[in-house]
Amino acid sequence: MAVMSPVSRDQRNYSPASLLALWHLLSLDAPTVASLWIWFIASANHLRLSFLSVIAMFLAVWMLYAADRLLDARLIGTPESSELEARHYFHSRHRRAFLIAILVTSAALALLLPHLEAEAIHLYLVLGVLLFGYFILIHVTRSAHRLPKEIAVGLFFAAATFIPTVARRPGLRIELLPLAILFAALCSLNCLFIYDWEHSTLSHSDHPAHAATRIALRHLRIIAVALILLSSSVAVFDHQAPWPISVAIVVAAILLLLLHEARHRMARLTLRSLADLALISPLLVTPWLRR
């Protein structure tokens, strides 16, 4: 019989004692961040997105994350369950409620699609095909170790948030490309920090990661500082790119770095929730958008 690790004992005894923890456990963190960033990116480029576009993004991202966690929760009771965290056990415990919510959300999203811009839907379909292939790879073939998952998530997340803006203003694609790359790096950094915090007690043989992930984990501070410096440089020297986006990336990267330094003084569930809360940095920059 396998010995239960301290990680899994901690996961079984979680208690959603705060709204922040519940925000994370209900898979509301990622859709909140995505919805905020699509609005923020558009606003920084003097575009006004419809409220329905923001709601559609929230629903779509919530469905993806809830489904992903339900699929991961199938590992409960297997030797691989040591990889799971509180969010997976929470989704497993409330599986029926999440499945019903996903069905209702799917219907609501279907009703919203006719009200979205055709070009945005086209780009999301392309992204959706790639994302579906990735889901198949990690959940059906169990070949996640062949791809740097944390980097892939960053790329998908960033692409989804920039699509509404570039769909309406195709001429901005080249201009916004550096910012999209920086934001993808920020999202990947978020995932890498979380991976490091959640798997610090597991050996590589227990939870093998992609070679790129292992390299990145050894240089997290350097990567964070490099992202801060690059984003600051874009904000100061690239007069074509909207500076509020760069500044929001800088603020979020600094917050993640501060959380990393304070990681040993926080409960893991709180730390995980705060990592996503750090990505709502656009709220700190919003007052300067129209100045």
pTM summary value: 0.86
Please tell me which residue, 98 or 2, carries the higher pLDDT value: 98
pLDDT-derived band at 67, boundaries 50, 70, 90: very high
Q: What is the pLDDT of residues 113-162, one digit of tens each?
A: 888 888 899 999 999 888 888 777 776 655 555 567 788 889 999 999 99
291 pLDDT above the threshold of 80: no
Which own/partner pairs from 130-136 qualify as long-range (CB within 8 Å, at least 24 positions apart)? 130/156, 131/64, 131/156, 135/68, 135/71
Q: What is the pLDDT of residues 193-216, one digit of tens each?
A: 998 888 765 444 445 566 777 788
* Residue 141 pLDDT: 58
User: What's the structural domain count of the chain?
Assistant: 1
Asked whether 194 and 275 are in contact (CB, 8 A), the reply is yes
* 111 burial level (CB within 10 Å; 0-12, 13-18, 19+): exposed
* Residue 203 pLDDT: 43
Query: For residue 4, is it within any domain?
Result: no
* Residue 8 pLDDT: 40
Which residues, in sequence order, are CB contacts of 2 under 8 Å at separation 6+?
79
* Residue 60 pLDDT: 94
Query: For residue 8, is it within any domain?
Result: no
* Residue 83 pLDDT: 72
Helix axes of 211-218 and 220-237: crossing angle, nearest 10 degrees: 80
Query: For residue 2, is it within any domain?
Result: no
Q: What is the pLDDT of residues 161-182, one digit of tens each?
A: 999 999 999 989 899 999 999 9
Query: For residue 108, is it within any domain?
Result: yes
Q: What is the pLDDT of residues 224-246, one digit of tens each?
A: 999 999 999 998 887 788 999 99
Query: For residue 10, is it within any domain?
Result: no
* Residue 214 pLDDT: 79
What domain range includes position 202? Answer: 16-288
Query: For residue 86, is it within any domain?
Result: yes
Q: Where are the alpha helices (DSSP H) in the chain?
A: 6-12, 19-25, 29-44, 51-72, 86-93, 95-112, 118-135, 149-168, 173-198, 211-218, 220-237, 243-261, 268-277, 282-285
Query: For residue 1, is it within any domain?
Result: no
Query: For residue 5, is it within any domain?
Result: no
